[in-house]
Each structure stands twice: as structure tokens, then as C-alpha cells.
Chain A
Amino acid sequence: MKNKRKSIFISITQFVLLAAILVPAVTLLLWIFTERWTWPDLAPQVFSKRAIFEIAGRKKELLQILWSSILISTVVAVLSAVIGIMTARAILLYRFPGKQVVYFFTILPFMVPATVFAMGIQITFIKMGLNNRITGVIIAHLICSLPYAIRLIMDGTAAVGSRLEEQARVLGASPFKAFYKTSLPMLMPVILSAVSMSYIVSFSQYFLTLMIGGGNVKTFTILMVPYLQSGNRNIACIYSTLFLGVTLLVFGVFEWAAGRFMKHGGGEFYTSE
């Protein structure tokens, strides 16, 4: 009896949670085609294809911008993961003077408001000749995404430790092989989270991209945000849906690549098959 009540409670919770995710998603899709939907009607009164036409009219430009946005964000994500792994290992596994200071620096970008940071770094980047370039945008995004990547990977590195790697070294593996075959596969789940997190930080960056890219570097977010701000709901919805879809797709690819690595790369000892 008690069990049954518990299971009812669980299924109600599940239902509520599911609805909390699905209802906004469905509304989003519905609003793409909605022009007017006044209270208290349950269904929209006027539909329109305005948003579809907007997207269709910009197909070529949109594909190009999406492609370059994905490229920028993927580069940022991969670089964050690489730097994140190196930083996390340096801080956790090695002893060197000023370690606490380095650790403090890694979380510094959390503390400075993005707008303030953007306006300052814009001037520095102009002087360095990095402004209005993709490289500049990537470096700026990297500064924002690194704290997340480092924090996530540090937790993983702390849990994994260096014992297995040391064992591999004792058995004669080269330093890189030891890392590649033991620590890397075990760190894979946190690396995947770090990559995804960095990707989304970079992909959704608006103000910073505007300031550093100076309008020369166009990302999907730069195209989308003016419509969100203008309250143009159906067009905002179609851009948001695209944003969601593309992000999910990219995450799927990341997951697939990690899976492949586990199977055929360094993780061969860890997969059950």
C-alpha cells in the first residue's frame, strides 16, 4: 500500500517535471506560426508564415553564420577542455610556488561582470590588433568559458587522482601514453560536461562578441538577439528553436565522439564490450 502511494507520488512528480519541459517547448513551436493569440482563446486566432519566410529568405546567409558560429564555439570548447585539463592537473597534482594565486586567477572571470570586462578588453584587443577578428572573439570567449571548464575538470581530476597513471609509468608507459590510457578515459565524463558548458557559454555570448567582433564577426546569437529584444515573437521563436536544435545536434556529436574515443581510442579497457 505504502509502495503504491510512493509510486503514484513519483509518477506525478515525473509528469509535472515532464510538463515543465514540454509545455514551453510546444508553446515555442506553436508561436512560430502564430500572429495573434488573444486571451481567453485556447487556440491562436491568426496564423502566419512570416517567420518561415524570414528564415527561408536568409537561408544562405543563415547557414554560413550557423556554420561559423559552430566552428568558433567548438574551437573554444576544445581549447577550454585542453587548457582546463592542463590547469587542473597543474593545480592538483604538482607543487609549485604561487599555486593558490594561480587557482584564484582561474576563477577571477566569474567575479568581473561580463559587460565591464568586454569594454576593457575591447581597447586592449584593438591595440593588439585582435579586434574584429575571429581569433580575438575566440580568445575573449575562452576567457569566459575557462573558469567553468577548469572547475569541472578539477573535480574530476581530484577524484581520479594520479595513482593509476603512476602505475602505468612503473609498468613502462611513456608519460603521454600513461595519461591517454588511464586518466583521460576516466576523466571523459567531466571533459564532456566541460566541453558542452564551454560550447554553450561561447555560443550564447552576445555583448562580448559584438564588442570584440565589432560586427565583422557575425555569430548566430548576434543575428538572433535583436529579434528577441524587439518582441517580434514568431521570429524570436523560430530563431530560438533553431538555436536549441543546433545546440542539441552539436552536443549529440560531442557525445558520439566521446563514445568513439572510449571504444576505439584510449578507453578500450573501460568499455564492457
Chain B
Amino acid sequence: MKKRISAALLAVAIAFSMTACGNNERPKEENKTASVTEEMSFETMKEEAKGTTVTFYGWGGDEKLNEWLDNTFAPAMKETYDITMERVPMDIDQVLSQLSGEIQAGEKNGSIDMIWINGENFRSAKENNMLYGPFVDKLPNFQDYVDAKSKDVTLDFAYPIEGFEAPYGKAQIVMIADTAVTPDMPKSAEDFKEFVRKYPGKVTYPALPDFTGSAFVRNIIYEICGYEQFLDMKGDKETVKAAVEPAMAYLRELNPYLWNEGKTFPDSSTTLDNMFSDGEVVLNMTYDAYGTAVKIADGAYTQTTQSFQFEKGTIGNTNFMAIAANSGNKAGAMVAINEMLSPEIQADRYDTLKVIPVLDNSKLSKEQKASFDGVDLGKGTIPQEELLSKRLPEMPAELVPIIEEIWTEEVAGK
């Protein structure tokens, strides 16, 4: 009996000591921002954000981007605004589940400030009131340098942004091949079929719902069915299925000539990247239009590697920065986002990371323009003018999961 009591006491003691040390480590800057962020001018925000920390949640698998955020952007923010930037590497699914948990639990001073987001994730986050906004019209750099009317800025996968996201970078699908191995680059869906037949077992694409694989299939749909009809299509499976059937038939015809005879597909675009650099396949595809130059410089791709597009164009989209609805530091997040949109930072991202800038060229001064034009894009890339001239808009976000479902049912393994 005695033993049992002492054991119980010990357990209680342990529990107590734990909660006790829990209380000691409360976050330092609590409740600095109130709900009055709405009425603040940008100058007040700068003042308010001084000495605070801003967290930036987003995908963390690119060591060059991480390095840039930690060693270029963060020091600049510290120096100019006395804001400490904290990068948190997290997949967007996890960011959103953490955010929804915090909001459900009624946390007012949330740990997530800035989020790197776009597409379907943005739509579901916005519709579930998980994002703060509209905020972009408060940012001086957004007003000065961004073309607020361009479709790249007002629509995210055809879903109206309404000021809840500020552009971060532009991406566009390109295909990559080694000219020394495959001198003939397919310029259309027809060419692509020929190409696949010519190199049987050497071509494939990432299994949907991989981001890149999904975009590639949408691109094939655009090639075969045209893109205009999808821009205002209702998210109804029967309608979509009827519209994309010719493209699905085309993809089924490809299957026997694909890697592993189309019975299986690589699980992700990163797997395909590695298969391509290993020489297991002869064609790669990426959203990171200028990533090829970086990979060639690293030595992962051969010097003769070249990126290319279909004649009719390839899908491009923009990725964005948003602010969590319950962010504990909205003012700080806005100052950081504003800084990200400055011509200097955008030019530096273009130069170091080869991310297509989001600013409006016609709004830049001569010197600013020169800093963008002076960037050497490196080997194997498509000039920016040409790339952007063949840029097709994304489909409405709600069609994307439907097409992924149809592909899984109609194409995979068929």
C-alpha cells in the first residue's frame, strides 16, 4: 500500500515539475501586435515590428534557397528593420494542419506568420478563413512595382486572390533533355509521342498528384484539348471527364512505351530528377524553369543539357506569400513581405537563385531594370522573353484534384 502511494506521489511530482518548467519558457514577445493592424500605416508597422521575430513557413528541400533566406534575406531584414527572420522548413500540408489546429484551439498569438503557398492550398486555406487579409494594398513596394492588374497577380490557379497573397516568384513548366543523347526535342504532343516511341522505356513523368507530374498532364491536356475551355469550367467530375477524355486516351497510348511500360510511375518529381541525372531516363521536367542552369553548374547535369518548351506553350504559375489569420506578428510579416518585393531583393533572387521575378518591368527605373537585365541565366535555359511569351495560365484550382483522380482511374497502369 505504502509503495503504491509513494509511486503515485512520484508520478504527480514528475508531472508537476514538467508543467513548472513549461511555464518558465513562455515566448518572449507576447501580444505585441493587436487587432489594430488593419488601421496601421506602413510606417507604424515598421515601428511596431522593430525587435520582433517573423517566422516564415515553407518547403525546405532546396539548400540554395535556404541558404539565401538565411544568409542574404535574414541579415538584410535585421539590418534595415531590426526584424529577426526565422525560417521553418515544413511541407505545406503540415503547415496547414498545424495552422488549422492552432485556429481550432483558439490560439490568438499563433506561431506561424508568413507562409509560402499557392494553388489549391491557398484556396482551401482562404475558404476556411485561415489567412489574414486583404493586406497587399498596404505594401508600398506592391503599389510601386507590381502590376496589380496582371492575371499572374490577381488569380492563383484561376482563383481570385483578393489581396490575400503577395507574389513571391514565378514558375513555369519546362522539359529538360541532354542534346548529346537526344538531339531531337519534341515541340508538340505529336512530336512527344514520336519521341517516346523512339526511346522506349526511357521516358516517364511523375505519378499524379505530384505537383510537377500533375502540371505536365495538364499541359498535355492543353496541347490536345486546347486550354480556353478549362478556364471557366465547373468543378464537376462528369464535365471534366468528358472534356479531357482525348488527352487521357493519348496518355494511355503512351503507356506501353514509357519507363516500366507505364505500369508504374516515379513517385515524385525529385525521383524523376535523380533518374534523369543517373541516365535512367532521357527526359526530365520541372517547374523551376531556370533550375537547369544551377544543376549544370553543380555538375548534376551534363554541359549539353538543354531545357525546352512545347510550341503552344507551357503552364506557368506564380507562388505567393500569405499571412496566417492568427499570426502573432502581422506587422512584422507585412514588412518582410514588402521587403521581398523590393527590386533589389527580387534582382538578387533572380541572380542567385534564378527565380523569375514578379515585378512589372515597366514600373522599374533604368538602373533597376539594368540590374535584372544584367543577370546571366547560365547554360541550358530559355531566354526570359521567349519563356514568358509561351506561358499558359493554370486551370481553376478545383479542377486539379479532379484531373488527378481521373488520371489515377483512367491512365495509371492501363
Contact = CB atoms under 8 A, between A and B. Distances in A.
B62 to A, nearest CB: 6
Contacts of A77: none
A98 interface: no
Interface stretch (B20-28, B139-147, B256-264): B20-28
Nearest to A139: B18
Interface in B14-72: 14, 18-19, 21-23, 25, 27, 55, 57, 59-63, 67, 71
A229 B91 contact: yes
A37 B277 CA distance: 8
B299 interface: yes
B8 to A, nearest CB: 10
Nearest to A216: B111
24 contacts: A36-B277, A36-B302, A46-B300, A79-B14, A86-B10, A119-B97, A122-B101, A126-B105, A131-B111, A132-B27, A132-B111, A134-B25, A135-B19, A138-B18, A207-B94, A211-B94, A211-B101, A214-B102, A215-B86, A222-B89, A226-B90, A226-B91, A231-B273, A232-B61
B298 interface: yes
A127 interface: yes
B376 interface: no
A38 B3 contact: no
A39 B67 contact: no
Contacts of A86: 7, 10-11
B300 A35 contact: yes
Q: Is the interface of A mostly helix, strand, loop or mixed?
A: helix
Interface in B237-275: 268, 270-271, 273-274
Contacts of B59: 226
Interface residues of B, number: 52
Given A38-B277, A227-B61, A229-B270, 10 more contacts: A47-B299, A57-B67, A94-B4, A126-B102, A126-B107, A135-B18, A135-B25, A223-B89, A226-B91, A232-B270
Closest 3 CB pairs of A and B: A230-B61, A231-B270, A215-B88
B90 A210 contact: yes
A230 B22 contact: no
B160 interface: no
Given A175-B3, A226-B60, A123 B98 contact: no
Contacts of A214: 98, 102, 111-112
Q: Which residue of A216, A223, A226, A227 has the most chain B CB atoms within 10 A of its CB atom?
A: A226
Contacts of A36: 277-278, 299-302
A114 to B, nearest CB: 13
B279 interface: yes
A233 B301 CA distance: 14
A124 to B, nearest CB: 8
Given A35-B300, A38-B279, A126-B105, A90 B7 contact: yes
Contacts of B22: 129-130, 133, 135-136
A104 interface: no
A48 interface: yes
Interface in A10-53: 35-39, 46-48, 50
Interface string A206-243: 01001100111000001100110111110100000000
Contacts of B94: 207, 210-211
B104 interface: yes
Interface in A101-138: 119, 122-123, 126-127, 129-136, 138
B104 A123 contact: yes
